[in-house]
Chain A
């Protein structure tokens, strides 16, 4: 699996380096306008950060699409690797490349907008909070990519034809996302019990404070929703792996 990750990263190496260099150069140019463009500098820097994250995220999806619809699939899917190994390597490679770009762009954003370089704010953050942030970040990337990859694979398996497969995958993605969100919301309403990850106490919490991926301050998770999310992730991962092994037909 890790060999696959190595080649996945190598395949996207130029994209990763290209984005990082572009962001660094653009940020350095913006830094020369500090004090002149008071509003534009942070706004443009934020645009670079968001834009580069979107580009690397799309690049991660494009590779999967090329494997499913392009000739390179003949290389990947004839390897003696299981569907689980292929899925895990895709997710891990995507997480690594998104993280590399994320670290560079956020760092450049900070350096661009700050008046004085000072990392002392790290001292005010507890180690447990950092771990929770990291877990939330990894979970957000992995779970969202798993849903998208599942939709791409099922679109390819169920719908013959490149165009219809891709459009179908997008429609399936919207339907599944809406369905998961709706079920998740319903579960939170019915079972509002939350778990505080700081002290591991269970209590009845407000719905608005329950999602660790959307809240940066509340380290409570809704128990039912979290279990539901984990089940959905495992289900989609295993189904995607099964479809790769048993149902995927390359054209």
Chain B
């Protein structure tokens, strides 16, 4: 299969609000795709649908050829933008939790990443700063050999120095037999790692394409393009 994720006319409505208005998006294997848009544009809604914790009102989404469910959850490594780790956990408990439930979890890689991120295994999750929690979440998510990584605002709440470190971790841990979809506001910081980008506004994709081709054809960086599209 060429596309690890295929979304056709995905719509999501809440009573009188339309969060997604027909998203069509394919994510090929081996690509890092940036899903870019302002607050409330529908980025997180789309990612939640792909992760299987939200259900579309209309349309079809396939992950590795299957609708989101137990199988897709076993091959998708999802980083939500909230503090979802259990408060009683120590860092090592969180690692064990992932090891227990995900057969593709690489404990050795996790320990290497913990060192790289300056995280102590014995620290209690609730005592960590926001940036450290973000690093821990990323460590757990990147330590899986997943087919699709879904990262929702991986740089949120992280200082500029740590951002560079996190980006390096993402790039060095990415393999060509998997794919990644990343949402962010911090386009300038992260655009160098994107293969493809999709700009989303009010629940619709308004521009998408290969990042390098867009830069060449528009003679602008992705960050400048983002500002132009959403000004």
Contacts and interface: CB of A to CB of B under 8 A. Distances in A.
Interface of A: 3, 6-7, 10-11, 13-14, 71-75, 77-82, 160, 245-250
Interface of B: 14-15, 48, 51-55, 69-71, 73-74, 76, 78, 80, 82-86, 88, 93, 97, 100-102
B147 to A, nearest CB: 13
A77 B74 contact: no
A13 B87 CA distance: 13
16 contacts: A10-B93, A71-B82, A71-B83, A73-B84, A74-B53, A74-B80, A75-B86, A78-B80, A79-B101, A79-B102, A80-B71, A81-B101, A160-B14, A245-B69, A245-B70, A248-B53
A247 B78 contact: no
Contacts, number: 66
A14 B15 CA distance: 41
Contacts of B88: 10-11, 13-14
Contacts of B76: 78
B53 A246 contact: no
Pick the 9 closest A-B CB pairs, nearest first. A80-B74, A74-B84, A80-B73, A71-B82, A250-B53, A74-B80, A75-B84, A71-B84, A3-B100
Contacts of A7: 86, 97, 100
B228 to A, nearest CB: 33
Contacts of A78: 51-53, 73, 76, 78, 80
A178 B87 CA distance: 37
Contact of B55 (A3, A14, A247): A247
Contacts of B48: 249-250
Contacts of B93: 10
